[in-house]
Amino acid sequence: MQNLAVIGAQWGDEGKGKIVDLLCENFDVVARYQGGHNAGHTVKFGEKHFSLRLIPSGILHPDKLCILGNGMVIDPEALLDEIEQLRGLGVTIESNLKISDSAHVILPYHRALDLAREEAAGNAKIGTTGRGIGPAYETKVSRYGIRVADLLDPDVLREKIDFACAEKNPVLQGVYGKPTHDPKKLFDDYTRFGEVLADRITNGTVLINEQIRGGKRLMFEGAQGTLLDIDHGTYPFVTSSSTIVGGICTGLGVAPKHIHHVTGVAKAYTTRVGGGAFPTELEAAPGEHLRKRGNEYGTVTGRPRRTGWLDLAILRTAAMLNGIDSIALTKLDVLDEFEEIPVCTEYNVHGERWQTFPAFAVEHHDYKPVYRTFKGWNSPTAGITSYDELPAAAKDYVRFIEDETECAVSIISTGPRREETIERRARR
């Protein structure tokens, strides 16, 4: 029996949604363990196009049980919208979607604080998705958060909302000059959300461990990426949760021995949204070409993504932090029209060679990426489904990634659709 973790190896947007969807048929349960509706997974097959934010991509397969884990922060309004939208596209969402009662709830004051802080920070802003993710995790850690179970208990909910408003309203108004939130209205709205979601709310930890004991196969779906991890990422330009494999244990209540295989999803180049270090960033024409050809605009916010060449220091770091067993390399076809393709193999930092990406104080170092330049294949790989059909130069590129990361590239994605994929190893 093999349970699989699918983790972003860069700064998110690596194409995890497609990979989870592709591998899903081998699993019974798909669970998310962190983040909220800051995530944006896109899955395309046939003529259909699904955008997922909170709900695991496994939901597109009606026989999979999908779990929103306790490590997530959930905006009930966004969740209900997503359920409605997916149902409108013919997706079955009945008892196949469960929510951990210990997940934390995002309320409108979290969103307001997120936006107000970003506005006040000016050039120092993080570039968040503005969904209230950071403030909701702050409230969780402060131990005054509202958990999903609280939506079902009117007395507790009223008390917690009153307490939160008494604290957040003066900050919103006094510090940021923003409107306040009416606790009575919040109580009414969130009681209603609780009523609508009640059948889905369960002890997520018990549920998932029952599945494990019952011999079911589990997939753990990561959101964002390794370098957005709160501890190991490019702090403070990170998200507020543990995006790496370790987050699965706390974010779902699953012991490490139940995580059997880790697939790191990496784009064939690099992108990031928001602020923060990006050593291989391209500002001129090649960056724009990657953005256009790769359609590098945020699924959640529509923001243009920053683009750059592949960075092996990042992939080595991701392999180290997550214990990556295999890599799913996505968007190889986006590189189809380059004469030359540089790859960053390490950094030169004041004459020292750095082979990994240190989370600490990257901003204060003078990073010089050291590149090895590959000959571009300059021919179409889009839609190719067999490794043998790839041009020799593309195979060299893939082999180099394998050698440098010491991880097998088991999947290569050559287009956004489910069918546009090369699978090199037997599925686990």
Neighbours of 62 (CB within 10 A): 11
Nearer to ligand IMP, 11 or 309 (CB): 11
Closest distance of CB 365 from ligand IMP, Å: 20
Q: Pick the catalytic residue from 13, 21, 101, 150.
A: 13
Burial class for 155, CB neighbours closer than 10 Å (0-12, 13-18, 19+): exposed
DSSP-derived secondary structure letter, 230:
T
Residue number with CB closer to ligand IMP (108 or 134) = 134
- What is the C-alpha to C-alpha distance for residues 156 and 152, in angstroms, rounded to an integer? 9
Report, in Å, the least distance between residue 138 CB and ligand IMP: 11
Task: Give the span between the Cα atoms of 127 and 278, in whole angstroms.
Answer: 14
The tokens for 372 are 């090895």
Comparison of 207 and 334: residue with beta carbon closer to ligand IMP:
334
Query: Which residues in this chain contact ligand IMP in the complex, by CB under 6 A?
Result: 11-13, 38-40, 126-129, 131, 133-134, 223-224, 228, 237, 239-240, 273-274
Least distance CB 113 / ligand IMP (angstroms): 11
Q: Which is nearer to ligand IMP, 235 or 354 (CB)?
A: 235
Q: How far is CA 388 from the centre of its chain?
A: 31
| 348 strand-pairing partners | 353, 368
Helix/strand/coil percent split, the chain, to 5: 40, 20, 40
Nearer to ligand IMP, 127 or 376 (CB): 127
> What is the distance between the alpha carbons of residues 368 and 349, in angstroms, rounded to a whole number?
6
87, 50 in Cβ contact below 8 A? no
Among this protein's residues, is 41 annotated catalytic?
A: yes
Element (H, E) at 62: none
Distance from C-alpha of 149 to C-alpha of 165, rounded to nearest angstrom: 19
Q: Are 248 and 321 in contact (CB under 8 A)?
A: no
Which residues, 6+ apart, have CB-to-CB distance to 176 below 8 Å? 113, 116, 117, 119, 120
Q: State the nearest-atom distance from the C-beta of 273 to ligand IMP, in Å.
A: 4
Minimum gap (Å) between residue 186 Cβ and ligand IMP: 21
336 annotated active-site: no
Nearer of residues 129 and 345 to ligand IMP, judged by Cβ: 129
Q: How far is the CB of 249 from ligand IMP (least distance, A)?
A: 21
Residue with the closest Cβ to ligand IMP?
A: 274
Residue of 37, 41, 104, 232 marked catalytic? 41
What counts of helices (H) and strands (E) characterise the chain?
Answer: 11, 20
The set of catalytic residues is: 13, 41
